[in-house]
Structure 1
Amino acid sequence: MSTIFWVILVLLIVNTVGAIFTVLREVRDISTTWAWLLVLILLPVIGFGIYLFAGRGLSAKKIRLIQGQYSDGIGNFLGLQKRENARNHLLPEADLGATSKEMINLFLNSDQAPVLSHNQVHIYTDGEQKFAALFRDIDAAKAYIYIEYYTIYNDKLGNELQRHLMQKAKEGVEIKVLYDAWGSLGATTKWWKQLTDLGAQVETYFSSRHLFTDFRLNYRDHRKVVVIDDAISYMGGFNVGDQYVSRDPKFGYWRDTHLRIIGDTVQALKIRFIMDWNATVATQRQLPYHVALPEQRTSWAHETPVQVVASGPDSTKQQIKMGYAKMIASATESIWIQSPYLVPDDTVFDALVSAALAGIDVRVMIPDMPDHPFIYRATQYYANALTRAGVKVYHYQNGFLHAKTVIVDGKIASVGSANFDIRSFKLNFEIVAFMYDRKIAQQLQAIYTSDLAHSYLLTDEMIRKQSRWLTFKQQFSRLLSPIL
């Protein structure tokens, strides 16, 4: 027995030393460091397998590759910025108040993202309607179609997308598709062959180029962007797959938020796609950086100023999280949030609690069903904690809520791919449109209000009735929240 004891003791010591060495090799925030130490020490051997899957950082070479494309593309953003500086005085002062100006400056300094004023924005909350519009726009394309999605499934909707693209490829339209290999299991090279045989180019985003040799959960391309002919763009929460058009019985109705944008912001989204494409493909297949805002523009009765902000693990600034925190801190009346996942870091959590304690109407809406068990339990933990602090937390019951929306004071709103969780803040490549427009903000508020009819308010009594086992799962998942 003593021999077995000493063998186990030595293995535990070796495992602990290995865990400390493994985790401290990379610079991380303290909460993430402790979370990984917990996993590696409590799950000997198995924990290291989990770490290989979900804990490894991006190599310095890959980060330099992305940053190099950012440096090349940013010159075009700066060109847009200089040109728009002369136009921004045309923005309504009611919308471009002190808070808006501060947010604009925040993103100019952190992401060098210009606010582009000449836009028309249409909001989609239903997948069938969104994809019907997208397919109409694809069918009308004359020059190019650039598509970037986290998920493109090999299912009915995915094949429908491919058929529309094949027809345009036959007509000589330039087609480029970028997708995440981990998020699009089943979308193989063989499945894309009919499209690529027609001259289209299809690639998996660089961080997932070889799914099995570069096997990692983190650093996914979570963006959803479509740009067509320098004229039309889409961005938001919908991916491409049957579940996103409410065809999956597991989820039922899929409630999401997506934008169709025409106007100057198309150029900002085009540059973002080119950055991601050029970081993925060989040099000879890279696209030139070029933007061209028209001197003479269509006169619209109403325009929406939009600032497109991207963030990812290639930067430590966490621009989108800073934008959310700034919105929350600047609120004087209301903060309404929708997100499928609610796993904020301490900065965002404290900002929400401070706003609620200051008497601001803080509401957070989350789904009432899981799609990822650990994240769902962590979401429940933070929903309980925020409820106790005075935040109104609503559980959406009419299917699955996947919208990523923030609305402040009915004046400023954001829609994009970033969830309200640590993964979106710093582990994934995300993109969000911040809009300085009362009309759009109030449209999103009206949508939120209609969603309340399908939701219930979490109460202290409901929390007290939760079982000890459920409470334990929530607390344990919360310990892992920095790495979920």
Structure 2
Amino acid sequence: MKLLKVFISRIFIFGMLIILQMIWIVLMTSSVLASYQWLNTALKVLSMAVVLWLVNKDENSSYKLSWIILILVFPVFGGLLYLMIGNKKPSRRLRHRIQHVIDDIQDELIMEDEMSDKDEQFKKDGLTYLADLGFGTYTNTQTKYYALGDYCYVDLLRDIMNAKHYIFMEYFIVARGMMFETILELLKQKVQEGVEVRFIYDDVGSLTTVSYRFEKKLEQAGIQCVVFNPFVPMLSVAMNHRDHRKICVIDGYIGYSGGFNLADEYINAKMRFGHWKDTGIRIEGNGVWNLTTMFLTTWNAYKHQDQSYVQYRPTFNQKDTLLNDGYVVAYGDSPLDEERTGENIYLNMIQQAKHEILIMTPYFIIDETMMKALILARRKGVVVKIITPGVPDKKNVYRVTRSYYYPLIQEGIEFYEYKPGFLHAKMVLCDQRIATVGTINFDYRSLYLHFECNVLLTQKQTILDISKDFKETLALSEKIDLKYSRRFRGIYEAILRLFAPLM
């Protein structure tokens, strides 16, 4: 019975279709090349032209190098393969669909109390940069940091139960199980109470975890649904651009983000890779607006609903102001533009650091620019500590992550591995003053291909909570020494690193 389920699953069927396409292309090309010798030369010329074009292209150097080597190793098919799947830009259809909505919402992106130009420090923190991209910075906002998805889940359920007007949810992975089933029953209940419920999930992220046409089941329950960038079993770069965001907005004044998806392992109700260490953040107040506009941009790109965005702005049944001790800005990253927002914020925090940079990340696959920034920070006397998983969820990615240890440890950067299990948290804390928490990993997919979101903040109490969590996680982690890290630099790791940007 289990074997039958595998054979009729979407991932198996789609995988077989892609393999058949590859076989057909190779056979057809080989047949044509045997009949037309000139075509062999033409394809090699095409490959060389693509290599020269890549050399001159304003592109991530590691990504270019991976493709150049691949093309030179396979000069007949390499150039053609790059033209088919090598371009990192989203499909024209996806770009047009979302860009049209971004243009419509542009005037509504930043609320009146946005305050990113208040002083020189704000500019140094990158707030003016984010404001230019449409992400306002707010003070009338409270935040709460969660050291585990387990803790965040409890508050999320409570806030969903208390929703009065609408609930927006956007997640990369949705999996049937205790966590999602509980949330689903609450959403059905809220629909019966007249609350508007909208739900977005990524098709590839949930390819193996929900049934085919799962969105129809949600809609039958009154839950409006969008499946982001549905996966079509074709050899196409379009499958690379996924919605990796985790967003929940409730009535406009409560928002959630972080690393956790809607699946049981994220709250340790199911153990897949030991104890699952994740983080989350709750926002209450005007700062939620950025999350709302991110959600509505994606939603309206698919649903084409002509509605006023203003009606979804934060509304308060409380006193006029919320107690807060710093600013908050939720920001997104998108492959639709040339801005590498997530990477730029990380780089800016590293470059601005004077005393200490603390990082938690599940994947550490960086380019030369990020590596130099970390090394320069350490040479300035900045303490750099990085925690990665002790138990991998993807073995090859884990091996690539470990391959970066040795050269950075040589520079005095400290690496630790979380021994109880898999660490999925994405967090950077700079000088005990400014932090960012969210969905953006230190890898090529997060930084260049996916739709992502993070929350940048300076609120003192939340910073203290983040610092405390890092110290407690550090106590559960093992420090990697220079001698031990040498074993992670074999030939296989070198090959993996070479092609890491293509994974």
AA matched with 2:99? Q
Structure 2 partner of 1:76 = 108
**411, 414, 439: which one pairs with 2:461?**
439
Q: What are the within-5 Å matches in structure 2 for residues 49-198 of structure 1?
A: 57-78=89-110, 80=111, 82-85=112-115, 98=121, 102-109=125-132, 111-185=133-207, 186-188=209-211, 190-198=213-221
Structure 2 partner of 1:480 = 499
1:86-133: CA deviation from partner (whole Å, max 9, x where unpaired) = x986xxxxxx77266542112123x13211111111111222322222
1:348 aligns with 2:370: yes
8 Å contact 1:151–1:179 — kept in the other structure? yes
Q: Which moved more, 1:307-316 or 1:371-380?
A: 371-380
AA matched with 1:39? L
**Residue-pair matches, total:** 462
- Return closer, same or farther for 1:32/1:288 CA change in 2, 3 Å cut-off: same
AA matched with 2:450? N
Q: Which moved more, 1:16-25 or 1:265-274?
A: 16-25
RMSD: 3.0
Q: Which moved more, 1:378-387 or 1:146-155?
A: 378-387
Query: Secondary structure at 1:83's aligned position in 2?
Result: coil
AA matched with 1:121? T
8 Å contact 2:416–2:477 — kept in the other structure? yes
Hey, what's the Cα distance between the residues in 2 that align with 1:14 and 1:183? Answer: 39
1:279-327: CA deviation from partner (whole Å, max 9, x where unpaired) = 222x2x3543225455984444434411111111111111121111111
Q: What are the within-5 Å matches in structure 2 for residues 273-284 of structure 1?
A: 273-281=295-303, 283=304
1:338 aligns with 2:360: yes
Shift of 1:37: 3.4
**270, 288, 313: which one pairs with 2:308?**
288
Hey, what's the Cα distance between the residues in 2 that align with 1:99 and 1:299? Answer: 22
1:141-183: CA deviation from partner (whole Å, max 9, x where unpaired) = 1111100001111333222222221111222211110111000
**203, 212, 223: which one pairs with 1:200?**
223
Shift of 1:50: 9.7
8 Å contact 1:336–1:406 — kept in the other structure? yes
Query: Secondary structure at 2:283's aligned position in 1?
Result: strand
Structure 2 partner of 1:396 = 418
**251, 254, 258: which one pairs with 1:229?**
251
**234, 242, 246: which one pairs with 2:268?**
246
Query: Secondary structure at 2:181's aligned position in 1?
Result: helix
AA matched with 2:309? Y
Matched-pair identity in %: 28
TM-score, length basis structure 2: 0.83
**490, 496, 499: which one pairs with 1:471?**
490
Hey, what's the Cα distance between the residues in 1 that align with 2:171 and 2:186? Answer: 16
Q: Which moved more, 1:119-128 or 1:422-431?
A: 119-128
Q: What are the within-5 Å matches in structure 2 for residues 367-382 of structure 1?
A: 367-382=389-404
- Return closer, same or farther for 1:37/1:374 CA change in 2, 3 Å cut-off: farther
Shift of 1:386: 1.4
- Return closer, same or farther for 1:50/1:152 CA change in 2, 3 Å cut-off: farther
Hey, what's the Cα distance between the residues in 2 that align with 1:214 and 1:83? Answer: 47
Shift of 1:27: 6.7
Shift of 1:63: 1.7
- Return closer, same or farther for 1:127/1:30 CA change in 2, 3 Å cut-off: closer
- Return closer, same or farther for 1:77/1:351 CA change in 2, 3 Å cut-off: same
**448, 452, 472: which one pairs with 2:470?**
448
Structure 1 partner of 2:26 = none
Hey, what's the Cα distance between the residues in 1 that align with 2:38 and 2:383? Answer: 55
Structure 2 runs not aligned, ≥5 long:
1-32
Hey, what's the Cα distance between the residues in 1 that align with 2:464 and 2:96? Answer: 41
- Return closer, same or farther for 1:438/1:19 CA change in 2, 3 Å cut-off: farther
TM-score, length basis structure 1: 0.86
Hey, what's the Cα distance between the residues in 2 that align with 1:249 and 1:53? Answer: 36
Structure 2 partner of 1:383 = 405
